[in-house]
Structures are given as C-alpha cells and as structure tokens.
Structure 1
Amino acid sequence: MTPRTVAVHRAAVVALLEGLRAPGRTEVLPLVQALGRGLPQPVTAPVSLPPFANSQMDGYAVRAVDTQRPGDADMPAHDAGARLRVSAPVPAGTTPPGLAPGTAAPIMTGAMLPAGADAVVPIEKAVPDRFLAAGEEAAVTLPATAAGTYVRAVGSDLREGSVALPAGSFLGPAQLGLLAALGLPEVAVYRAVTVLLVTTGDEVVAPGQELPAGKIYDANGTLLEAAMVQAGLRVRRAGIATDNPAELLELLRAESAGADLIVTTGGVSKGAYEVVRQALADQPVEFLPVAMQPGGPQGIGTVDGVPILGFPGNPVSCLVSFEMFLRPALTELLGAPAPRPRVRARLRHPLESPHHKHQVRRGTLHPDGTVGLQGGAGSHLMHALAGSNALVHVPEGQSALSAGDEVEVWTL
C-alpha cells in the first residue's frame, strides 16, 4: 500500500471528527470556565470600546482651539500656548459637566471627556506641571494642542455591532478579557471532547507494579493522557488491554458509551500479534502507513459508530501522532486547543531523513534562534523527548540538512 502523506491523513482525521461540531455539541459557560474552549459562532460587540470618549493621560481636558493663539502655526513649539482658567476636576467614573470656552478641566486617565473638550494636554506639559490645590491661582498655561490629542475616541478599539471574535476563535485570557470588557458574563462554546484512551499489550505493566522480566512500564497512557488534558480534552482511561482481540473488542464496546472518540496505542502495525488490527477486523477501520517518521502505522475509522484512532505503540510515535493529527484536527474543527507556535530556526547539527517521509525530530529551541537535536530518530527515546521543548520538521523530499540550515519548529 502506498503510504499516505501527512496532509492527506490529517484531512482524513478532520473528516472523521466532523461530527464534533454538530449544533447540539455546544454549551454556555461563565467566562472563566470557558478558558481553552473554541467559539462555535462569532461574537458581535453589544457596545463600543471604549463606550465613551476618554482621556489617555492625566492632564487637562481642553478645547483645542482655546490653546491656539494668533500666529501659532508659525511659532516655535516652546513659545506656543495659552493661559486658561481651571474648572472642576474630572475623576474617572463620573459624568462631567460640559467644558466652558476658555477653561481647562483637570482629568484623570480613563475619565470621560467633558462635552465640548476635544483634546488632552498631559500634566507634565502644563505650567505649573502639577494639579493645582484648592485655594491656588485657578489658571494654567498650556501649549498649543491639536484636536484629538491623547483622546480615546468612542469605538476606537471596537465598534458596536462589529465582530469582536470570529467563529473558531480560541478563548484564551485575552479573548475572555475582551468579552468581559463588552459586558458579557458568559459565552457559548463547543463542549469538551471526551476521549476513551486504551493502551494495549501483554508486555505492558502499570507504573507502581513489580516489573517482571520481558515487561515494560506503560508510558503511553500517562504521556497521551497528559497531552490530551493539556489540550483541553476529557480523558477516560480503560486500563491496559491484553493482546486478546475478543477481550479488546468487548472492552471498547463496554467503555465507549458517552465517548466522542476512542484512541488506542499499539497493535496497529503489520506484525503477527497486532491486537487492535485483529480486534477490529470486522469494523470499518482502516490500518495504513503514513509517510512519517516516527508514527508511520496508523488506524482510523469507527467502532459501532464511535470514531477511533489507532496510534503506534512506541511512546514518541504516540505523542507525534497526537501532535501531527489529532491536536491540529481539533483546532481546525473546534478552535481549540490553540495551535502549536511555529517558528523558523537554524539547525545546530546536521541530520539525515528518509527522502520519502516527513521526519519529526525532538529538539531544544534556544534563545539565539537555533535548535539542537535531542537523541536520534528512534521512537523509543523517552529521555530525549523529556529533554525537548520543540518538534523539528523535515518535510518529505528532503534527505539531508546541514548545520545552519533553516527548519520549521513547533514549540511544545
């Protein structure tokens, strides 16, 4: 079978999970509880931001024309200015009276601009350069100032009725802060995806148990559950399945009620004892090669109507499969989790890659814009993975790169 490209398989995963954005899979949550979710519909601004013209500085609200004197346009900046009477101060949170001609109102940052005022002179440009105390001479000299100076106009950030956040937006702190600024206490979001996670293998033992000869501890369950939880998924663990196909199928059917997706690890290659392949032989599940290293063997389909993804059994292959296929598919469909940041970096070391595969290496991205490789290309190198903060991508068609060559890097 000709291997699928990474892009084709990712598109297949998106198609498999299309039902996750059905209309009934939304809920309304208080803002903070919506952290990390995605928007099913755009949010329209119910008010303008800011909702009223306000001061950008501590200073004096003025009519710009009152600061101009005859010939100001030809005068040096330090000579321009006018002496204005000081009116009542404008604290933030109050509605001030209109500004009379020939006066200047002391105003605080964020305070509403009085009617008639169209500019603000910062306090440090006033003479004297401080607010006057009660009983002092109630006049101040201010430099010539253009209309609009240090004024935050109504809607200068966002206009009422415009799109505040488009559908598919990821709701991080900044997005939730925007919704709060618009006066919205809650928001409609996609429901969190529930995943049934099943690790397989007679050779696998749960951490904390005695390790008999020929056995290994289950790293995949913890690795994938942590990655999924970090991405905002709800994970149900079904324990470690044996290599008995009938028992595995029975477990999947018994545990998958209420799950949006099943993810298995191991048992998807072409070996003689590939339990996931054997258990799902009569299900609409396809087992195929993807032109990727590590993580080439993949399973995709449904079990009794529930979508299932079969990842390889080696730990690094599991994580790479999640990062390359499931995580970006959920981002595309639901707006969450947030995409992995992608940067260009220069290799610290040369590397070789199979010409016909997309290779994903583990690496450490450094502040100087270089990336060093951690370990080799092997899919069992957990210690190298733990010491990495990035995935280094070598696209299909490239077989060798030199130190100093640029590569795409996804930060973890």
Structure 2
Amino acid sequence: MTATGCERSEEGIAHECSPMEAVRTTTIDVTTVTDSGAVVHVTPDAAGAAVVVHRIDGLEPESETVVELPDPTDPATVHQLVIRTLARPSGDRRCVFATVNDVHFGELGAGQIDDLEQGPIRRAAPGAEPYPEVMNRSAVAEMQAIDPDAVIVKGDLSLDGAEEEWAAFEKCYREPFGDLLHVVRGNHDSYRHQDAYAGDQRIDLPGITIALLDTAIPGATTGNITSEQIEWLDALAAEATNPVITMGHHQQWIAGTSADPTESRRSDDYFGLHPDASDRLDEVCARRTSILAYTAGHTHRHRVRTMTRSGAPSIEVGCTKDFPGTWAEYRVFDGGIMQVVHRMSSPEALAWSEPCRALYSDFGVDYGSYALGALTDRCFVIPLR
C-alpha cells in the first residue's frame, strides 16, 4: 500500500501526520507473513532511493503485533504496522517445496505487449546483464536457503521456446537443484509447437503428492486440460495416500469471480484454462476431496478464488521476472499446507523490480496493485478437505 502520512489499510499500516506530511508518499508493502514472522518492503519517496527490507521474527502464531518502523527519508516519522500472523497447521511439518513461474529467459522488454509501443517498457541498460538472469538468480539463491525437498517450475521458462533460452533456464535452475527440479511448459514454451517439458507429472513428497499438469496448447496462448488428463488426475487422487495439490501454468476460469467482463464471460478465447476444462477440474476436485487446491501462474498476479462446485481454492502466483518478483514456498504439515510468497530481496533484484510497478500504465493499468494483490492472496493456509 502507499502510506501518505495518515491512512490505514488492510495491510495494517497507520501513523500520525500533519497536513504538510500528507503530501509525501512512502510505499510500504507487507509482502510476506508466516506463522512466526513477516517481511516488509519500504520504498522511500525520494527518487531512486533503495527499497528497505525489514524482517520481523519471533512472533506467535495467529496473533497480532504492532511494529514501528522509521521512515527511511524522515526518521522522525514512524509507521505503525499491525502484523497478523498465520495459524500453524496441526501436526508435524513433513516437507517444504518451492515454486516459480513466468521466469521468461530471453525476454528483453518488460511490459511490452506484442509490437505495441505503449508501456512503459523497461529494458536492461546497454551492456547490463539481462533482467531475467538477475531475477531468477536471486530466486534460486533464496530457494536454496530453505533447503527444499522439490522445486516446481510452472511454465513460461522462456520468451519463445528458443534453445538458447531453455539452455539459460537449465543453467540457472538445473545446476543447483538437479533431480529436485520438476518442470512443465507454458504457452511461451510451445508457441511454435515445441514439445520440450511436455506431459503431466506425479511428484511424491513426504506428506503430499503434487499433480503437475501440462496445460499448454501448442501454438496458442490459451490453456486446456483434456478428458484424458482429468482421468489421470482422478486415478491419481483415488489411489494417493497423501493429500494432493494440483499445479499447472494456466489459471482456471470460474464463473462470477471477476467484475471484468472479459474474465466473467464463458468463451473459447478465455486467456487461461478453457471453461470446459476448468469445469472438469472443479468436478474432479468435488469428487476427490484429497485434492486440496489448484495453483497456477500465467496472469503475473497474486489472486485466490474459490471453485464453484468443490469449494477448493484456485490460486495464482505472480511472475518472477518483474514486479514484485516472487517465488512461493509451501510448508506441508499433517493438518494442512501453508503458502508463503516471498518477494526477492537482493539489492539487484529490488533495483529492477521496484520500477516495474509502473508497467502497462499507458493502458490505464495499475500494475503494482494488480500484480501484488492482497496479503491474503499471497500468504495463507490451505486446509485439508
């Protein structure tokens, strides 16, 4: 959110101000919350000032704590944040795994739509390292720090499925994670009918089974889950002894969950999973209560909706390559799964991602709000069903 001196938001930010102070803007984002802590990113109002990262630890689960942070450009101004921690699922912690999506190796212009000149379009400075390399290297370093049992990449590894783009992806991700890495393609990886990274995958970890679905339609931007894939998922969920979480690249179509008519209308051209496939996914989730959720990428946003028949959550995780520049951690307990979205916080990642808030503004889009979503869209507990 943007604190203008005397406002309060759902993120829990409030502070006192005078009328003069109200013209200043310091952007304060509670980007991550867990059962024991939080991460806050503070962007000073001074042009070009670096983002300040605050890590708050040692909190109690399912509790509220007031935290005071000085303004980076005016220490006399103090921002008060009410941090609300998540409940910790019951039982033992069984494993932890990480995901990324929309990493886009080979991309040269963030915010560019087709050949349109509107933007703004951000590019790396001449001679500088390509920004997908910067952002993904930071994601890998942060994921390594949690020692994951698996790393799942949910599509759009590349800009156009070029061999050199996939090679850059493999160098960044395969070398550090090896057999822990599981990858499925997205639409950017199959524009020219490529078949690398194709096919559904079953990934068994302690306490959880992951059903990774190939939702790409070669040559198209839209997605699908065929009847054969649904049969595969149904059989997997029927025999699995652990809870199941499904993952794929394209987001689900769910009637009545958006005020945007292009999203609400049932259409063969829906930008995510075809409505028929979306309904089939909901139906199998209703039939197999071992399936806890479906989580996707593709939209470059953080959002959680509820499936119509099953009531299972349908989750979208933002992209790695620009604002806010994220990856997702899943902590698996006997009594549920905690999703924790992290914003990459290396200085070089923040220097790139922060100005990307303004992408697509020429189209009247508030990309910062769209991409970040609410805190409850990023960090939450997925219960057993």
Q: TM-score range by the shorter chain?
A: under 0.3
Q: TM-score, normalised by structure 2?
A: 0.27
Q: TM-score, normalised by structure 1?
A: 0.26
- Greater C-alpha radius of gyration: 1
